[in-house]
């Protein structure tokens, strides 16, 4: 969800970055154990340097939940991540998103009203079949709650295949939200025939499908996508292979199948980091994920060649909204006891969403 952000004023927005960074270091020191700054792997370097914990969205939410003594969690990520942290942390902890406009376009592609409408249509067409909903963690708390309420589970890019297997063992069909590509790549990895995976097009009657196609399907994919990972193409892979036969390709499963299928390896951000860090010095990599992570890996491993798979920088522009000025603004307000940009999930939604998250953790 993309929310409105108040104007934080020229005293933050017009300051030089050097000055802002000094002030962040100072106020963070003053706040001490009162605050925990969490940074996603895609965060820009000037903010990433202040992280108490780094990781993918779920790892960060779990880190926040483990450290129950810190009353303030400043989540340098996007909106759905802050929501997950609010769901998993205690009532005594407050989660803040430095810039409320930091939403995730993919999560926003599965609006709950549209999902409910699609679910009702599907239930009518395949009446008698048991449908299990699964949602990628990159989704709103309301969608997670919808899934939790209907016996489904959340998944991440590391465990999507496992969660899909679990869901198929419990029902006849899986409705997978919101990322078409993570769903498709996982279904292919599990050997589900192509004609048993169908795409549900948002805004179309029966998702643009014929009743018999839906009746014969096993996996129904919502047609959401990540605007960053969609920028990588099979042509980029061909280009690198022609240029350098020693290059290896590692990509995120939010990329299209034509990219994932031709890569040497694919996996979550944690898998990508592990792959590069465990590779031999001198190895060469073209990486299909967000540019801040690719550049960081390149700096961290100067004895390896780490390039972006795309010749153009693929930036998560919403996460990029979390700039030092906004981080400082939140921290300075906390230092005087003011909670700004707090992200909360109402208790009923949180309870149902937690069911879906807990199911995933138990799988």
| H/E stretch holding 57 | helix 57-66
Our CB check for ligand SF4 shows the closer of 254 and 332 to be 254
Query: By CB under 6 A, is residue 78 in contact with ligand SF4?
Result: yes
Our CB check for ligand SF4 shows the closer of 144 and 173 to be 144
Query: By CB under 6 A, is residue 2 in contact with ligand SF4?
Result: no
Stretch that binds ligand SF4, among 101-109, 145-153, 261-269, 333-341 (CB under 6 A): 101-109
Our CB check for ligand SF4 shows the closer of 56 and 332 to be 56
Our CB check for ligand SF4 shows the closer of 42 and 146 to be 42
CA torsion, ordered 262, 267, 268, 270, to nearest 10 deg: -120
Q: Which of 228, 251, 291, 309 is in the footprint of ligand SF4 by CB under 6 A?
A: 228
Q: Which of 21, 106, 219, 291 is in the footprint of ligand SF4 by CB under 6 A?
A: 106
Q: Which of 160, 164, 226, 330 is in the footprint of ligand SF4 by CB under 6 A?
A: 226
Our CB check for ligand SF4 shows the closer of 74 and 226 to be 226
Going by the DSSP 8-state scheme, the letter that residue 24 receives in this structure is: H
Contact 155, 359 (CB under 8 A): no
Q: Which of 126, 259, 306, 319 is in the footprint of ligand SF4 by CB under 6 A?
A: 319
| Token couple for 133 | 């909903």
Which residues 6+ apart lie within 8 Å of 70 measured at CB? 33, 34, 35, 36, 64, 93
- Shortest reach from residue 14's CB to ligand SF4, in Å: 27
Q: How many residues sit in the footprint of ligand SF4 (CB under 6 A)? A: 13
Between residue 262 and residue 301, which ones bind ligand SF4 under the rule CB under 6 A?
290
Cα 140 to Cα 111: distance, rounded to the nearest angstrom: 8
Q: What is the 3-state secondary structure (H, E, C) of 149-174?
A: HCCCEEECCCCHHHHHHHHHHHCCEE
Kindly report the number of other CB atoms within 10 A of residue 170's CB atom. 12
Our CB check for ligand SF4 shows the closer of 27 and 182 to be 182
Between residue 127 and residue 146, which ones bind ligand SF4 under the rule CB under 6 A?
138
Contact 140, 112 (CB under 8 A): yes
- Shortest reach from residue 226's CB to ligand SF4, in Å: 3
Q: Which residues pair with 76 in a beta bridge?
A: 39
Between residue 7 and residue 66, which ones bind ligand SF4 under the rule CB under 6 A?
42
* CA distance readout (Å), 238 to 114, 243, 249, 300: 38, 8, 10, 26
**Which residues would be at the binding site for ligand SF4 (CB under 6 A)?**
42, 78, 104-106, 138, 226-228, 290, 316, 318-319
């Amino acid at each position: 969800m993309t929310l409105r952000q108040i104007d934080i004023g020229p005293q933050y927005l017009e300051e030089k970055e050097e000055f802002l960074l000094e002030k962040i270091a100072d106020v963070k020191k003053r706040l001490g154990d009162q605050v925990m700054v969490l940074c996603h792997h895609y965060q820009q370097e000037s903010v990433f340097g202040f992280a108490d914990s780094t990781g993918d969205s779920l790892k960060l939410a779990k880190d926040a939940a483990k450290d129950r003594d810190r009353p303030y969690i400043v989540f340098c990520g996007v909106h759905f991540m802050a929501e997950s942290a609010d769901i998993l942390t205690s009532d005594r902890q407050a989660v803040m998103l430095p810039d409320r406009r930091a939403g995730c376009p993919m999560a926003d592609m599965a609006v709950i009203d549209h999902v409910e409408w699609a679910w009702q249509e599907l239930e009518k067409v395949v009446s008698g079949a048991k449908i299990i909903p699964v949602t990628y963690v990159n989704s709103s708390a309301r969608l997670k709650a919808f899934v939790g309420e209907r016996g489904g589970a959340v998944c991440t890019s590391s465990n999507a295949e496992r969660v899909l297997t679990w869901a198929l063992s419990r029902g006849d069909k899986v409705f997978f939200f919101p990322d078409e590509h993570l769903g498709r790549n996982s279904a292919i990895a599990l050997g589900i025939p192509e004609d048993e995976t169908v795409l549900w097009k948002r805004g179309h009657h029966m998702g643009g499908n014929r009743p018999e196609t839906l009746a014969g399907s096993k996996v129904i994919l919502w047609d959401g996508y990540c605007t960053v990972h969609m920028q990588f193409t099979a042509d980029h892979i061909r280009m690198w292979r022609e240029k350098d036969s020693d290059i290896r390709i590692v990509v995120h499963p939010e990329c299209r199948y034509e990219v994932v299928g031709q890569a040497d390896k694919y996996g979550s951000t944690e898998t990508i980091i592990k792959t590069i860090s465990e590779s031999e010095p001198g190895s060469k990599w073209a990486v299909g994920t967000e540019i801040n992570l690719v550049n960081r890996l390149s700096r961290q491993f100067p004895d390896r060649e780490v390039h972006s798979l795309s010749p153009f920088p693929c930036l998560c522009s919403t996460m990029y909204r979390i700039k030092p000025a906004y981080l400082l603004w939140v921290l300075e307000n906390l230092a005087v006891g003011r909670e700004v940009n707090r992200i909360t999930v109402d208790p009923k939604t949180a309870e149902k969403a937690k069911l879906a998250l807990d199911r995933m953790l138990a799988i």
